[in-house]
Amino acid sequence: MHTVLILGAGFGGLELAACLSESLADEARVVLVDQNDSFTFGFSKIDILFRDRPPESVRIPYRDLTRPGVEFRQETVTSIDPRTRRVVTDRSEYEPDTLVVALGADYDQAATPGFVEDGHEFYSIEGACRLRDRLNAFTGGTVLLSILSVPFKCPPAPYEGALLLHDELVRRGLRDTTRMHVITPMDSPVPVSPGTNTALTGAMAERGIEYTTGTRVRSLDPHAHTAATHAGELGYDLFIGIPKHTVPRVVEASGLTEGGTDGWIHVDPATLATPYPGVYAVGDCADAPVARAGVFAENAARTVASGIVAALHGTPPPEKYRGRGSCYIEFGNGLVGKVDADFLSGPAPVAPFFGPSVELAAEKKQFAADRHKRWFGG
Ligand SMILES: Cc1cc2nc3c(=O)[nH]c(=O)nc-3n(C[C@H](O)[C@H](O)[C@H](O)COP(=O)(O)OP(=O)(O)OC[C@H]3O[C@@H](n4cnc5c(N)ncnc54)[C@H](O)[C@@H]3O)c2cc1C
């Protein structure tokens, strides 16, 4: 039987396992490995931060995974040899026929000096819990929210954080005594989507949230509570940063990033194949020219699944990867917008925007429920 080893049971790994279970349940053995015992949607961190959701309530345990032909193993990957496809974990060793690396992105918080000591983030569950507690004790002052490095997951997420924080401060009667300032090294929130940019910058302006582009915070002074930029020092009472993203250390040590853009795994953007036979990479860890978001990891996983099926069945190669996906954007007050991105079908990316509404808020809930059902088979 053909064996497929999927490293990482996030958006990409779970979608790939579901596709292979549907197409090859009797012809392939699919082993899905993750260091955690449960999956959490990226956007659940926003629920932890602003909606009083305890982390346990947003975790979906992998023991619920009942997809035919898929074995889940909770193991930590400690080494990957892409030449031989040999993978070592803390509990086992594998040499699959096909290897798919879907290990996502890690955060390098130490890359911004002073950030570990004096900054907060909401991109990890632990960070969201810590920031929630800090916000509970916050009594007003200056909040800086800064994107520390590019690329990062879910380009609209920092702006969702700012808009929801505004609502929270209004609710607690602290908005009038709080200055909010969003700082980014980019020129706009979502460069491929002018409509999204107009909506997000407009929403921030309406709420009195200052917005500075083309500016990178290089370091924090934890004693003075100042952030250093090329334009000078900015004082803050609360600093929230989107930390620098990197490939997980085990990926870097594997050599898979050689030839990749900016330290990410080099893939053929049409097929997600790496230069090593039988080895693919999908999602945040790969250098496909798309935004880092779950929906693109999912779209990439579908392309890889059809490539594996075509190779096994000797059928024509699948349609090339399009880098397509719909991202939902929280605007506060229960309203959600949507951007439908297509990065690779045409000569340039297109990403029309759909304005915030309660209908789209319901659609986002359904999006999560559909994935839960599809991936876990429940
Ligand atoms: C606040 C926030 C909001 C977001 N909102 C959205 C949104 O609305 N829509 C959207 O599409 N995306 C959103 N995202 C982004 C989305 O969560 C990620 O882009 C997506 O999860 C990437 O999928 P992936 O499969 O590449 O990686 P991941 O989903 O991160 O999965 C990688 C997996 O690999 C595992 N792993 C890592 N190293 C090892 C190891 N050594 N051994 C074993 N396992 C390991 C991890 O435990 C993890 O489960 C958001 C992210 C954040 C932080």
Residue to mutate, 5, 7, 34, ligand 1, most ligand atoms under 8 Å from C-beta: 34
Q: What is the pLDDT of residue 25?
A: 85
Q: Which domains does the chain have, with CATH numbers?
A: 2-105+247-320 (3.50.50.60), 129-242 (3.50.50.60)
Residue to mutate, 35, 75, 163, ligand 1, most ligand atoms under 8 Å from C-beta: 35
25, amino acid identity: A
Distance CA 212, CA 219 (A): 17
- For residue range 260-286, what is the model confidence (pLDDT) as tens digits? 999 999 999 999 999 999 999 999 999
Q: Is 338 in the pocket of ligand 1 (CB under 6 A)?
A: no
What six digits make up the tokens of 108?
């390098």
Residue to mutate, 6, 11, 16, ligand 1, most ligand atoms under 8 Å from C-beta: 11
Q: How far is CA 253 from CA 35, 128, 231, 247, 249, in A?
A: 18, 29, 37, 10, 6
Which atom of ligand 1 lies at the shortest distance from residue 124's CA?
Answer: 53
Half-sphere exposure of 243 (CA within 13 A, CB side): 24
301 pLDDT band (50/70/90 cuts)?
Answer: very high
- For residue range 86-122, what is the model confidence (pLDDT) as tens digits? 999 999 999 999 999 999 999 999 999 999 999 999 9
- DSSP secondary structure of 116-175: HHHEE-SSSHHHHHHHHHHHHT--SEEEEEEE-SSS-B-TTHHHHHHHHHHHHHHHTT-G
- For residue range 152-187, what is the model confidence (pLDDT) as tens digits? 999 999 999 999 999 999 999 999 999 999 999 999
Q: Is 9 in the pocket of ligand 1 (CB under 6 A)?
A: yes
**CA quadruple 222, 223, 226, 230: dihedral sign:** negative
Q: Is 8 in the pocket of ligand 1 (CB under 6 A)?
A: yes
Q: What is the pLDDT of residue 317?
A: 85
Distance CA 6, CA 12 (A): 9
What six digits make up the tokens of 241?
């940063």
Q: Is 102 in the pocket of ligand 1 (CB under 6 A)?
A: yes
**Preceding peptide of 151 cis, ω within 30°:** yes
Residue to mutate, 49, 78, 124, 154, ligand 1, most ligand atoms under 8 Å from C-beta: 154
Overall pTM > 0.85 = yes
Which residues have CB under 8 Å from 340's CB, separation 6+?
A: 324, 325, 326, 351, 352, 354
Give residue for tokens 């429920």.
369
Which atom of ligand 1 lies at the shortest distance from residue 14's CA?
Answer: 25
Q: Is 106 in the pocket of ligand 1 (CB under 6 A)?
A: no
For 75, phi then psi, to 5°, come to -145, 155
What is the percent of the chain where pLDDT is above 90?
97
Q: Is 297 in the pocket of ligand 1 (CB under 6 A)?
A: yes
Which atom of ligand 1 lies at the shortest distance from residue 103's CA?
Answer: 34
Q: Report, in angstroms and rounded to the nearest whole number, the Rg of the chain calculated over CA atoms.
A: 21
Ligand 1 centre to CA of 289 (Å) is: 17
Give the pLDDT mean for 58-68: 95
Q: What is the pLDDT of residue 377?
A: 82
Ligand 1 centre to CA of 140 (Å) is: 32
Q: Is 304 in the pocket of ligand 1 (CB under 6 A)?
A: no
What six digits make up the tokens of 225?
């509570």
131, amino acid identity: L
Element (H, E) at 202: helix 194-206
Contact (Cβ atoms closer than 8 angstroms) between residue 111 and residue 121: no
Chain centroid to Cα 134, Å, comes to 24
Pick the residue whose CA is nearest to atom 29 on ligand 1.
10
Contact (Cβ atoms closer than 8 angstroms) between residue 182 and residue 204: yes
Give the pLDDT mean for 131-144: 98
Q: What is the pLDDT of residue 272?
A: 98
- For residue range 237-251, what is the model confidence (pLDDT) as tens digits? 999 999 999 999 999
| Per-residue pLDDT at 378 exceeds 90 | no
State the DSSP code for 228: E
Q: How far is CA 252 from CA 148, 255, 263, in A?
A: 21, 6, 8
Ligand 1 centre to CA of 284 (Å) is: 7
Mean pLDDT, the chain, integer: 97
Ligand 1 centre to CA of 297 (Å) is: 9
- For residue range 316-359, what is the model confidence (pLDDT) as tens digits? 888 999 999 999 999 999 999 999 999 999 999 999 999 999 99
Distance CA 159, CA 143 (A): 13
Distance CA 333, CA 376 (A): 31
Strand, coil or helix: 33? strand
